[in-house]
Amino acid sequence: MKIEGVPFGTTDWSDVPATEHPGATGVARWRTVEAGNIRVRMVEYSPGYLADHWCERGHVLLVLEGELLTELANGEQYVLRPGQSYHVADGAAPHRSRTPSGARLFIVD
């Protein structure tokens, strides 16, 4: 990821409106800031959330709260807890997320 056209800025996430994105089950609530060529998000997954698609976009993702189960299209699975992260390039490993108990994430893509 090459960050371009992004001036210095700060974000009070409580001021950023949330948008809802239904999953195959549950819902994701995104607070999104777009700057230059990046998207920065604070994301909350409801308990029982399962993504409705395989994502091929690159991300840097940090788990802030809860437990995130990330499944790759090749069958590999990873469990991430608060303080753990993953990173993946565009098109490198299609993946999807689920959480039995809910999770709060910080994501840059």
Identify the pLDDT of residue 34: 95
Tell me the three-class secondary structure of 43-69, residue by residue: EEECCCEECCCCECCCEEEEEEEECEE
Identify the pLDDT of residue 2: 83
Per-residue buried b or exposed e for 24-41, using 16+ beta carbons within 10 Å of the residue's own CB: eebebebbeeeeeebebb
Domain ranges of the chain: 20-88
Tell whether the model's pLDDT for residue 1 goes beyond 80: no
Q: What pTM value is reported for the model?
A: 0.93
* Dihedral angle, C-alpha 42, 69, 59, 84, nearest 10 °: 80
Helices vs strands, H then E, count in the chain: 0, 10
